[in-house]
A and B are shown apart, each in its own frame.
Chain A
Amino acid sequence: MADTAVQAKDHTPTVEGAPKPAGALDARLAALTLPQGGFAAAARRDALTRLQDMGLPGPRDEYWRYTDPRPFNAPQAAAIAVPDGQETPLFDTLDKLTLVFVDGRFDEAASDDLALDGVEILTLAKADGAEWAAELYGKLEAAGQHPVRRPFATLNTAAAPDGLLIRVTGKPSKPIHVVHRRASDGADAMWHHLIRVEPGAELTLLETGMSGARSNSVIEVDLAEGAAFHHVASKRAIEAKVGIGHIFARVAARAQFKSFTLAVNGTMMRNEAVIDIAGDDAVAHIAAAVLGDGGKAPFHQDDTVFITHGAERCESRQVFKKVLKNGAEGVFQGKILVKPGAQKTDGYQISQALLLDERSQFLAKPELEIYADDVKCSHGSTTGAIDDEALFYLRSRGVPRERAIVFLVLSFLADALAEVEDEAIRDCIYERLDVWLTLNAVQ
C-alpha cells in the first residue's frame, strides 16, 4: 500500500458553551421498560444512579469527538424495514451450540438446548440463584468507567432485559454460536452477556447477525487464571442499522483473551473494548476487519479500544483494518495504558485504512501512556489506496479488475484475519468475506 501516516483531525465542529442535553437522559429512560426484580436488581439500581450522575454524551464530549452520539441518545430507534429472507448463517458447517436472539431477546424455541459439557448456561431474563452472576453483573462495566465514561454501557446494565450468563468450568467440545435476528422494524434491542471462564477452562464464542433497528450490547468477560476465551463476531448490516457494542474483559494471570470482529456496512456503528490485563503473563488480542460502503446509506464505524496493562510480562495486540468506499468514514481510538510496575509489557497496536476513493476518510487517534520503564510498546496508523502496481500485476495475468481488487482487499485485511486462530473458523470467515466482496464489487 502507498502509506501515508494520517493525523487525527477534528471534523465534528463543537459549539462553545452548548448546553449538555439536559433532560435527554430522562427522555431516553422514559422510553424504556426497565426490568424489575431478579438477581440483578441491585446492580441495575446502582447502574441507574451512576448513569444519572454521568448523563448522556453531549456535543463537546472528547470521547465522542469523531462519532455523533445523537443516534444513540435518541429516545426511539429510527425504524428500519426488516429485510426479506435471512442470509445463510455463517459457520453453518461447524459443529456448535446455537443460541438464537431475536431483537435482543433469547428465543428458546429456535435455539439448541442450553446443555454443553463443561459449561453452565442461563439467560438473564430467567436466571435466578446464580450466585456468580449476581456477583459479577455490572462489575466489569462499572470498573471500565475510569478514566473515560461509557454511559451507553451503564444504560445497558440498567436496562438490558436479556442476555446469556455463561460459566465455563471445562473445555467444551464445541463453540457456542449466538445468532442474532431481526423481527420488527423499530426494535430497540439491548442485551447483556456475562461470561465467567474458571481457572484453566476455555470457551469459543461465535456471534453473527444483527438484532434490532438499533442495538446496544454489553459483554462482560471475566477470565480466571489460565483461562482462554476466543470470540469471533461477524456482523453485516444490509440496512441502515445503528448500533453500539461493548466488551469489558478482566484477564487474570496466564489467561488469554482473543476477540475478532468482521463488520460489514451499517450506518452508525461503535464498538468499545475495555480490557484490563490484571495478572502476570496474560495475553489480550483484539482485532477487526471492517468493510464500509457509504453508497446506499451513510457509513460511519468507530472502534474505540482501551487496554490497561496492570501486571508483568503481558502481551496485548490491537489490529484494526478498515476498507472504506463511497464516502464511508472509519474511526479508530485506541489506547494502551501501562501502569507502574507492569514491567516487560509487550504492547502492539496497528490501525490501517484502505480508501477505495477520495471521498472516504479514516480518523485515527492512537495513544500510549506508559508508567513502567522496561516495556516494549509500538503503535502505527496508516491510510492508503489500492496499490497500482499490484493491481496491474494481477490484471496482467488475466484476473479481471473487480476480482483483482477483491484480492487486494483480502490482502489488506489478512493481518486482521490472521488473528482468528482456529483454521476452520477462519476459513468460514474468508469464504463469506469473498462472497460479500464479490457482491459489493458488482453492485
Chain B
Amino acid sequence: MLKIDNLHVKLEEEDKQILKGLSLEIPAGQVHAIMGPNGSGKSTLSYVLSGRDGYEVTEGSATLDGESLLDMEPEERASAGLFLAFQYPVEIPGVGNMTFLRTAVNAQRKARGEAELSSGDFLKLVRAKAAELQISPEMLKRPVNVGFSGGEKKRNEILQMAMLEPRMCIMDETDSGLDVDAMRLVSDGVNALRSPDRSFLVITHYQRLLNHIQPDVVHIMANGRIVKSGGPELALQVEQEGYGDLLAEVG
C-alpha cells in the first residue's frame, strides 16, 4: 500500500536535513507503529507524506499503491486515500464542523468520480459515527475544533477519518491528551475501521495505545531514519528501557 524508499527531506527555508534516508513499507491491511525520541522527524514524515509546504524532498520516493504521492497536491493525496490525524488539530473559527466535513466528504467523492452524499444521508452518517465516538450533536455544530478540549480535538480527528474512509491512515500522537476512556473510544473507532484493504501508520510515544490497537510491526525512528523494526515486543522494550540501549545497539 504505502512504500517509502530512501526518503531525504530538508527544510525549504533552512539548510536543515530532517529525514535522512527513511525507508518503510506498509502492506495492505497492516498496522505499523512508529516510536522515536522527540525531534526524530516523525511529524515531519507525516507532513511530507500529506503534502504540507515548507519541505524539500532531495532524494527518494513515496508511493501509495504505486502512485507517487510527492507530486500531488494535498487534496489529491486525500482523494487518493491518504489521511493524517494531526498531532495538533487546527482551530478554524466561523466554519461549522459539519459544513467542513460535508464539503470534504463530497469533494473527495467528486474527485473520485463518485456521487455526492445528499445532506440527509450525510447527516445520518455523521450522527451515527459521532455517537460512537461520543461526540455530541452540539460539538458537531460548533466551528471546527474551536473550544474543543485536547481530547475532543483528537476524537474529532478520528470522526473525520471515519467519515472520509481513507485507505492509508496516519495518526500522529492521537493518544496524547486522551484520558483512559477516550483512548478506548478512539481505539475502538480505529479497530472498527481495520480491514484487509486499509492500512495504518500509528505514531506514538506510549506502548499503552498499542495494547488497544495491536500493531503488526513496530519501527523505531531516530535522527531521520528507521533504525530498527520488530514486533509488538519492541514497543514494550522501549516502554521499559527507553531509547538509550536500543539506539546504542544500532549505532
Contact = CB atoms under 8 A, between A and B. Distances in A.
Interface of A: 388-390, 392-401, 403-404, 407-408, 410-415, 417
Contact of B90 (A393, A399, A401, A415): A393
Contacts of B89: 393
Interface stretch (B5-13, B72-80, B208-216): B72-80
Contacts of A396: 50-52, 74-75, 77-78, 83-84
Query: A interface, by DSSP: helix, strand, loop or mixed?
Result: helix
B247 interface: no
B95 interface: yes
Nearest to A414: B94
B88 to A, nearest CB: 9
Contacts, number: 77
B93 interface: yes
Given A396-B84, A398-B104, A398-B107, A410 B94 contact: yes
A401 B100 contact: no
Contacts of A413: 94
B52 A392 contact: yes
B100 A394 contact: yes
Contact of B93 (A400, A404, A414): A414
A407 B78 CA distance: 18
Nearest to B88: A389
17 contacts: A388-B53, A392-B51, A392-B52, A394-B92, A395-B75, A396-B51, A397-B100, A397-B101, A398-B75, A403-B107, A407-B92, A411-B93, A411-B95, A411-B143, A414-B93, A414-B94, A417-B94
B75 A401 contact: yes
Nearest to B99: A407
Interface in B120-148: 143
B149 interface: no
Contact of A395 (B74, B92, B101): B74
A411 B92 contact: yes
Contact of A398 (B52, B90, B108): B108
A389 B75 contact: no
Contact of A415 (B53, B74, B94): B94
Contacts of A408: 92, 95
B94 A403 contact: no
A400 B75 contact: yes
Contact of A397 (B53, B94, B104, B143): B104
Contacts of A389: 90
A345 to B, nearest CB: 28
Nearest to A392: B52
A136 B93 CA distance: 43
B160 interface: yes
Contacts of A399: 75, 100, 103-104, 107
Interface string B42-69: 0000000011110000000000000000
B206 interface: no
B9 to A, nearest CB: 16
Nearest to A395: B74
Interface in B4-52: 50-52
A323 to B, nearest CB: 13
Contacts of B51: 392, 395-396
B171 interface: no
Most A CB within 10 A of own CB, among B83, B92, B105: B92
Nearest to B104: A397
B164 interface: yes
Contacts of B93: 411, 414
B95 A398 contact: no
B78 to A, nearest CB: 4
A404 B92 CA distance: 11
B86 interface: yes
B107 A400 contact: yes
A411 B108 CA distance: 22
Contacts of A393: 86, 89-90, 92
Given A389-B90, A395-B51, A399-B103, 5 more contacts: A396-B74, A397-B100, A398-B108, A401-B75, A408-B95
